Structure formats: C-alpha cells, structure tokens
A and B are shown apart, each in its own frame.
Chain A
Amino acid sequence: MDPFLFLLLAAIAVICALNLVVQTHPISSALSLVGVMGSLAILYLLLGAEFIAAAQMIVYAGAIMVLFIFVIMLLNAQGERLTRRGAYVKIFGVPLMALFLGLVAFVIQAALPRSEMVHFGGFTHGGPADIGRSLFTQYLLPFEVVSVLILIAIVGAIVLARKEID
C-alpha cells in the first residue's frame, strides 16, 4: 500500500510540477503548483508529519497560492510570449539539468547506501503538541524572530502597495 501511494502521489507531484513549467498562462501554473502542494501534503502525512501537512494546506495552498491567484486575476495577466533565447536554452539546459539531477541522485545514493524503509506510522512525534513543545522551548528565539520578520513583511507590503501620496 505504501509504495503504491507514494508512487501515485510522486507521479502527480512531478506531472504538476512539469505542468507548472510548461504552461504559458500563469493561472494554469498556479493551479499546478496547488496540485504539487496537495500531493506533498499527503506525502507529509505518510512521513508522520501531521501538523506540517495541515499547515501546508492552510498556509501554502490556502493562503499563499490564493494570494498568487488573486494577483493574477487582479492584473489580468495574459499568457507570456516566447523570447529569442528559448531554443538555445532548451538545447543546453535540458541535458545540464539531467546531469545535475543524476549527480544529486548519485550523492543521495552514496550518502544513504542502506536502503532504509519509510513505513506509515513509523514516526509519531509530528503532531501539533510535539511541534508546539519544540517551538516554544528549544526554538523560541527563531520563532520570535520570525514573527518580527512577518510583521516587517506586512508593513512592507502595505507601504509598497498603497496609493501614491502626492
């Protein structure tokens, strides 16, 4: 059951990711990215990361991507036009990308030679309580810093997006 689910979700994720790159209209790309995020959320569940899976759906798919789609709709973005560099990039880019991927795969195989298995239910400390405990004890300082960061981001976004005051 586990390999089947993994392969299915991995296939969905990769196809959606490719679709993101291939589609010319931003809204198709955005929807593909939501597909990637959804399948990743289920993969997180398989890895025992319940809270992260829920946060992935709430924060990423439910807030960030909605913001993207909102902006795309607001600007009425059209499909992008092709540029001259397209062909030249395709000839060299794809083999280089494959090479890089092969390298990364080799490193992963070399670093983790024993094929450790992931079982559903093999990690049970990913619940909200565990995350909260860790977040408010060991990682309290980063947590506070990040909350200041997000405040700065809010202020920055408001300053950038406000109407010009003459």
Chain B
Amino acid sequence: MLSSSGVPLNWYLLLSAILFCIGIAGFLYRRNVITVFMSIELMLNAVNLSFVTFSYKFQQVDGHIFTFFVMVVAAAEAAVGLAIILTVFKNRKTLQVDDINSLKN
C-alpha cells in the first residue's frame, strides 16, 4: 500500500469519456422520457468529472466553479423538465417519447 503511488490523470478523463458515452447511449436507446432525462444528467456528471480533473491539472479552482454552475443549471433543468413531464403525463397519460409526437392532439 504505497501512499505515494498515484493515478494517471488520463484515467480520470477516460472514465469521464466512458460515462459520457454511456449517457449518450441511454439518451438514444431508452424510450421512457424520465430515463432519457436521467441520461442527460449522467452526461452532465461525466463532464463535471472532466472539469474537476482539469482543475487538478492546472492547480486552479476555476474548474470547480464551472462544476458548481453546471450543478445549478442541472437543478433548474430538473425543476422545469420534471414539471413539463408532469404536464405531458397529465395530458397524454404516457411517458413513452415515441407516443409524444404531436404538438396538438
């Protein structure tokens, strides 16, 4: 157990890329609008990891600030998005994105 042994910086970025790709896959594969929405959140999380990693690389706190803003925007997005989902469900009685295909009845 060497405490001095570190992890290559690249690994963090790769993990971030993998998570982002899984997020894209979820966004495209899934047909439930809530799961699609969660895939977007996963992508945002992956990007946040990149921001924090770069913050480590450049020894500056700016990446953390961006992550903070992403979180705030994600919170706003969740509030509005879930309200939209609720309204859509009230009108269409479905959560399948394929069934929500017309603007007016």
Cβ–Cβ contact A68 & B82, under 8 A: yes
Mask: chain A, 29-58; 1 = CB below 8 Å from B; 0 = not: 110010011001001101111011001100
Choose from B25, B53, B61, B76 the contact partner of A21 (Cβ within 8 Å).
B25
The residue on A at minimum CB distance from B3 is A1
Number of A residues whose C-beta is below 8 Å from B?
80
Helix, strand, loop or mixed for chain A's interface?
Answer: helix
Contacts of A86 in B (CB 8 A): 29
A60 and B68 in contact (CB under 8 A), knowing A2-B5, A6-B11, A160-B84? no
**B interface residue count range (under 10 / 10 to 19 / 20 to 34 / 35 or more):** 35 or more
Contacts of A18 in B (CB 8 A): 22
Cβ–Cβ contact B62 & A134, under 8 A: yes
Q: How far is the CA of A63 from the CA of B19 in the complex (A)?
A: 21
Cβ–Cβ contact B64 & A51, under 8 A: yes
> CB within 8 Å of B: which residues of A?
1-3, 6, 10, 13-14, 17-18, 20-21, 26, 29-30, 33, 36-37, 40, 43-44, 46-49, 51-52, 55-56, 59-60, 63-64, 67-68, 71-72, 74-75, 77, 80-81, 83, 86, 89, 93, 97, 100-101, 104-105, 108-109, 112, 115-120, 122-123, 125-126, 130-131, 134-135, 139, 142, 146, 149-150, 152-154, 156-158, 160-161
